[in-house]
Amino acid sequence: MRRIGKPLALVACLLVMARASALELIIPWPEGGETDALMRPIAPFLAKHLAEKVTPTNLPGNFGATGVLEAAKRPADGSAVVTLHEYLFSVMRSGKLASDLLAGLKPVCGIVYVPSILGMSRAALGSKDPKAWLDKSKKLTASWTLGPTSTNFMMLAQLEKATGLSLSFKQFSSKSAAVSALVDGEVDVAEINPEVLLDPANKGIVPVAISSPARDPRLPSIPTFKEQGILVDYSVHRGLAAPEGTPAVMMTRLEKACQAAAADPELDQHLAKLGARSVFMPAADYANYLARNRAMYKSGIGPAN
């Protein structure tokens, strides 16, 4: 039998040597925005473990589609990756874009995890126990951010389905406006992330449950949905994808660098200040995760965009 291990290893080595010694990290949103703030910090950690320069490139426009579609056109040689998250499916659900934004891309990894928290208005709640009030309520008002890229209704839509609640969604033009409405008691509930609760200005919000598998070490007093007996499983896991056709050796190299970066406590500490965590998800698992979320958004539950 002919042995092919060494020739394949040689080909892999030549592929790595042939491509440019730099990685372009495409962020399909403006510099300074939420996704940019969460994904740009991973660049130096990827650079450390790839032993090459990693350059963030902001390519905003068309509801995040411009950067994603451009990334799919980059050479399939391991020299470019693009950041992804659930907005892809919200945009497709809205009907604003006919394009399949995942076409031409292959998932590399998940790396930045932001759990969803069910927040209640202290002004609306008064002295009532949050979980008891939720259990007894039939109709509540909920805030969400209107727009084709909005994802903050999905956890609430799952909550409706799991509890039999009837939620009346009130639309706001920005996340800050939606949070303010919750603080002021203009709405009863909202989906929030840890960053909101870590802000002292938002003491008017009572957290009920968090979507992470275990309690968040930054907010240990908040029980998980599972602990509360609520069948809700939703979070936003940002990750990376490379152009379709990128050689397996390159994909593996990028995936391993992603894993090493996510394991670096310095990155996790930085993301913690932004209400996020560095959580590695292998390529195959991230592909399955994206497929599940795509189906969830396609189902049409929740308010119309």
Domain ends where: 210, 225, 244? 210
> Is 125 within 8 Å of 133 (Cβ atoms)?
yes
Residue 134 sits in the same domain as residue 182: yes
Q: What's the rounded Cα separation, in Å, for the pair 152 and 167?
A: 14
Task: Give pLDDT, residue 19.
Answer: 53
Residue 88 sits in the same domain as residue 123: no
Residue 132 sits in the same domain as residue 196: yes
Residue 106 sits in the same domain as residue 123: no
Residue 94 sits in the same domain as residue 16: yes
Domain assignment of residue 194, yes or no: yes
Q: What's the rounded Cα separation, in Å, for the pair 120 and 105?
A: 39
> Is 168 within 8 Å of 106 (Cβ atoms)?
no
Domain assignment of residue 226, yes or no: no
Task: Give pLDDT, residue 186.
Answer: 94
Domain ends where: 177, 210, 243? 210
Domain assignment of residue 227, yes or no: no
Task: Give pLDDT, residue 305.
Answer: 60
Q: What angle do CA 46, 151, 73 make, to 5 degrees?
A: 50
Domain assignment of residue 219, yes or no: no
Residue 271 sits in the same domain as residue 204: no
Annotate 178-240 with three-state secondary structure: HHHHHHHCCCCEEEECHHHHHCHHHCCEEEEEECCCCCCCCCCCCCECCCCCCCCCCEEEEEE
On the 0-12 / 13-18 / 19+ scale of CB atoms within 10 A, 126 is exposed
CATH of the domain at 204: 3.40.190.10
Domain assignment of residue 215, yes or no: no
Q: What's the rounded Cα separation, in Å, for the pair 217 and 61?
A: 36
Task: Give pLDDT, residue 1.
Answer: 45
Q: Which amino acid is at 224?
A: T
Q: Which two tokens stand for residue 287?
A: 């592909």
Residue 69 sits in the same domain as residue 37: yes
Residue 109 sits in the same domain as residue 123: no
Range of the domain at 29: 5-114+235-298
Domain ends where: 210, 244, 264? 210
Q: What's the rounded Cα separation, in Å, for the pair 256 and 251?
A: 9
Domain assignment of residue 220, yes or no: no
Distance of CA 240 to the CA centre of its chain: 11
Task: Give pLDDT, residue 124.
Answer: 86
Domain assignment of residue 62, yes or no: yes
Residue 129 sits in the same domain as residue 192: yes
Task: Give pLDDT, residue 189.
Answer: 94
Q: What's the rounded Cα separation, in Å, for the pair 159 and 265?
A: 33
Rg (CA), the chain: 21
Domain assignment of residue 216, yes or no: no
The secondary structure of 40-74 as a DSSP string is TTHHHHHHHHHTSEEEEEE---TTTHHHHHHHHTS
Which H or E run contains 119? strand 117-121
Residue 13 sits in the same domain as residue 93: yes
Residue 20 sits in the same domain as residue 110: yes
Domain count, the chain: 2
CATH of the domain at 264: 3.40.190.150
CA neighbours within 13 Å on the CB side: how many for 274? 21
Per-residue pLDDT tens listing for the chain (305 residues): 445 445 544 554 555 555 557 999 999 999 999 999 999 999 999 999 999 999 999 999 999 999 999 999 999 999 999 999 999 999 888 888 877 889 999 999 999 999 999 999 998 888 888 888 888 888 999 999 988 889 989 999 999 989 989 999 999 999 899 999 999 999 999 999 998 988 888 999 999 999 988 998 888 999 999 999 999 988 999 999 999 999 999 999 999 999 999 999 999 999 999 989 999 999 999 999 999 999 998 888 888 66
Residue 66 sits in the same domain as residue 165: no
